Structures are given as structure tokens and as C-alpha cells.
Structure 1
Amino acid sequence: MSEPPRAAAYLDVDGTLTTGVTLFELLRFDAAERGTDREAVAFLRTVAAMREAGVPRAERNRHYFTWWSGRQVEDVEQVGRRWFASVRTGGSTAGGGGALRPQVVSIVERHRRAGHVVVLVSGSFAPALAPLAEVLGGAHLLVTVPEVEDGRFTGHVAVPMIGEAKVRAVAEHARREEISLPRSAAYGDDLSDAGYMGLTGHPTVVAAPGAALAVEGGRRGWALVAV
């Protein structure tokens, strides 16, 4: 008899697996190391203003990566490792906003013990998430991939891993890795995660009751992990 197709656990990161936004936490940590805190505050205010003005998440995501323009990829990867080490020891510059949610980590561990493939699906990027993927036992990454030239970030992004991009990435990953989506699970906290979560047979919302995705998930019969 042939073995059944593999199952996977597809997880959003920011707000689902972590208590904060990894992109912003990493930026603040980088600014603190380089002594550019004032520039970081001004930059993040611009991002917040874009949100208040109704600029789509994908466009805000693109703007975020201009912060890293001209930086060597290897250097940013090392910043990410130092930041994640700081978070794990409780020394995050933003008060631990990138800390992991214990209840979701426990869920991930159950999936790992069951032999499921763990996949992080995020608008964040590898320098921020690679250390986390390692801690989770070598999780796969479906993330935003900034443009690189001559080993440096250009500040440009072709396709932010937001909304429909997550749907396409999860579907392609499942095809490539021979994953059964009906046997798989998905976790998210934002309404923009509903698309890829709905591809799987076991979607679970990680949010406060009453949050937009919790309401949508309740309508569709999805499970809820209240936070």
C-alpha cells in the first residue's frame, strides 16, 4: 500500500505565532544598534500614516522594505539572528513585541510530533523569520522576498506575501511538496489570511473573539484560539 499524502500546518506569523509585528520589531532593533532611533520612529510614523490613509497592506509592505535599501543581505541576516536571540532572552528593544504565543507554539509542537510539515506564511522576510524557523524544527518559509543586487537589498519588492499571494504560495507549496490540503491545517489572525486558510481542511483563527477574522471564521465553522 502506498503511504497517504503528507499533511502540513500553514501558519501566519505576526499576530498569530508572535505577539507583535516582526518587521517592525526587527527595524527598531536595527535602529537601536546603529543609533538611528529617531529615523526609525519617523519611518514607522510614515507607515502608520499610510495605514490610516487606507493604503493597502501590500503597498505598505513594499514601503517598509525601503528601510533596508543598500544593506548587505548577510549583514541583515546577522541583525535578524541577534534580534531573535534578544527576544528569546526577554531583551527586545520594544518590550518583547516579537515574543512567541505559548499556546500556538504548543500547537506547532503537536503538528511536528504528528509528522506534519510546518510552514510559516508571512509578509515578513527571511532575515526576521529564519531563526524562528530553525527553533520550530526547520519550518518551511513562504515569505516576502525583497529584490537583491550584488548581495545588497535594493529596497524593492515585486510580490509582497500578502492576501492572494499567500493563497498562490500555499497552493504551489502543497503541489510541490505533495501535501494534502484537505488533511492540512492553517492558522491566521487577520481577515487577509482567510484565503489561504480556506484552502485547508482544518483552519483555525488565532484572535480575540469579535475580531474580523474570528467573526468570519465563526460564520464558516472554523475553530478559534482566543488570545
Structure 2
Amino acid sequence: MTEYLSGGDRPARPTIVFSDVDETLIAVKSMFDFLHYQLVRRHGVAGEEEYERIKAVIRRRVADGAPREDVNRFYYGHYAGEPVETIARLADDWFTEHTASTRGFWIESTRRALRGHRAAGASLVLVSGSFPPLLEPLAREVGAETVLCTRPLIANGRYTGAVDIPVIGEGKRAAVLGHLASRPDVDPRDCHAYGDHVSDLPMLELVGHPVVVGDDDELRTALARHSESVSAR
């Protein structure tokens, strides 16, 4: 498990902690949980049916071997034409309703660890394939300074249905590398990263202190192989 300073001490060198979000910091998959929430709230039974239809298509694509990046783009296509303000309002309601309950939403071990890092003076960065309306409330709650995420394109106050670059897999690596490049005072070997899925491996490999949340054996094995390779150099 990761180590961090306590008692208000400050690290000798600046440090960044990168954290995945879905099933790492929170127990739900934010994109799909919110999609279900907003469709049912706005359209009732018809919304539930639409959600199941979308999920069925995604399951088929995944089963056929579609890259996660393509699935991510497919998901955001369903927001084409939606007013940004409407989605932001619904996202705020989604977050408020989830956090009104004291149990079940947060993965408390990760939340506590991030609080410890922040108390020790580290900068927190959330890294996710989800999008800003869902991630910004989470960032405020845990004190993250930056959100690296998939950003749907906007025109005339509405989502176009297209995205810039999905922040998944190698997209996470690129996003984290870009952030580290903007912080030449930070040594990646001093940094921490949290992830739960093998798609987080490209991000976890970049830091000196990677942490696996949950029980993804494929991720643990791949990360152990990477650590052995680094040690042998």
C-alpha cells in the first residue's frame, strides 16, 4: 500500500498523486450511472428502455473486441444536441443525491489515502474517461487541483456528440505525461497513482508508487512484471 506523510509534515520535494475515478475513488461507473440517472429522470420508462438499448449495444461492441476508446466515443455520441447547462444541472443533482447517503458511493480506502496525501502537501489530479460535469464535483470534494479527462466538444452551448481525445488506456498515459511536462519541478519517481483496471496500467507505469485498488489480477500481474523490468535495469 502507498505511504504518505502525516502530522502536517510537508514532503521534501513536490509530489503529485494521480487517481483514476470509476471503481477506484467511487464505487460506480460514473458515465453509465449518470446516463441511467438522467434518462430515467427525464423520460421515465422510455428512458429506462433507452438506457438498456445503449448498454446492450456497448456490451456487443466490447464482446466483439472494440477498443475502449471507441466505446468511449460511442457513449458521448448520445449527448449530441444536449444543452451543456442542462447536463451540468442534472450532473449536480446526480452528485448531490449520491452523496446525500453516507455509504456506498465512495471507496473509502482511496478517499482516505488521497486525504492523507493532500494533508502531506501533495497535489491531487483526477484522471478519467468520464467528463467534466461528473468529475468536477468529485474533484472539489477531495481537493484535487486538476482534472484530466475526456472532453466532449461543444458548439453554441450544446454538445456535438464528438470528443477530443478519450482519456483511456494510452490516453491516460499521454494526459499524465503532458501534466508532468508542465511540472518540471516534480520527479515522477516521487509520484503516486491509483487505478483499478488493466486499462490504468499505462498511467501506473509512469510513477514510482503505483497502487492497485480492488482485485484485478491482470493489472497486478502486469504491474509486477513492469516493476521487475524497472528493477533489472
Fold conserved (TM > 0.5)?
yes
Matched, 1:37 2:55: no
Q: Which amino acid is the alignment partner of residue 89 of structure 2? A: Q
String of CA shifts for 1:145-175, please: whole Å, max 9, x gaps. Answer: 1111111101111311011111111111112
Offset at 1:80? 1.0
Alignment check: 8 A CA contact 2:191 2:208 kept: yes
Matches for 1:110-189 after TM superposition, within 5 Å = 110-178=116-184, 179-189=186-196
Q: Equivalent residue for 2:65?
A: 54
Alignment check: 8 A CA contact 2:76 2:152 kept: yes
Matches for 1:96-115 after TM superposition, within 5 Å = 99-115=105-121
> With structure 1 as the length reference, what TM-score do the two structures score?
0.88
Once residues 14 and 84 of structure 2 are traced to their aligned partners in structure 1, the CA distance between those partners, rounded to angstroms, is 33
Where 1:141 maps in the other structure, the secondary structure is strand
Who wins on radius of gyration, i.e. which is larger?
2
String of CA shifts for 1:126-157, please: whole Å, max 9, x gaps. Answer: 01111100101243100001111111101111
Alignment check: 8 A CA contact 1:9 1:116 kept: yes
Name whichever of 172-181 and 27-36 sits farther off.
172-181
Name whichever of 136-145 and 58-67 sits farther off.
136-145
Q: Equivalent residue for 1:195?
A: 202
Offset at 1:220? 4.0
Matched, 1:28 2:36: yes
Name whichever of 151-160 and 177-186 sits farther off.
177-186
Offset at 1:20? 1.9
Note the residue ranges of structure 1 that are not aligned, 5 or more in a row: 223-227
Summarize the Cα distance change of 1:24–1:160 in structure 2 as closer, same or farther, 3 Å threshold: same
Offset at 1:181? 1.1
Query: What count of residue pairs does the alignment treat as equivalent?
Result: 214
CA-based RMSD of the aligned residues comes to: 2.0
Once residues 197 and 142 of structure 1 are traced to their aligned partners in structure 2, the CA distance between those partners, rounded to angstroms, is 15
Once residues 158 and 8 of structure 1 are traced to their aligned partners in structure 2, the CA distance between those partners, rounded to angstroms, is 25
Name whichever of 58-67 and 186-195 sits farther off.
186-195
Alignment check: 8 A CA contact 1:73 1:152 kept: yes
Q: Which amino acid is the alignment partner of residue 193 of structure 1? A: D
Name whichever of 111-120 and 40-49 sits farther off.
40-49
Once residues 113 and 99 of structure 2 are traced to their aligned partners in structure 1, the CA distance between those partners, rounded to angstroms, is 19
Q: Which amino acid is the alignment partner of residue 206 of structure 1? A: V
Q: Which amino acid is the alignment partner of residue 89 of structure 1? A: A
Alignment check: 8 A CA contact 2:205 2:226 kept: no
Offset at 1:29? 0.7
Where 2:121 maps in the other structure, the secondary structure is coil
Offset at 1:4? 5.7
Q: Equivalent residue for 2:211?
A: 204
Alignment check: 8 A CA contact 2:188 2:206 kept: yes
Offset at 1:50? 1.0
> With structure 2 as the length reference, what TM-score do the two structures score?
0.86
Q: Which amino acid is the alignment partner of residue 147 of structure 1? A: L
Greater share of residues in helix: 2
Offset at 1:221? 4.7
Q: Equivalent residue for 1:79?
A: 90
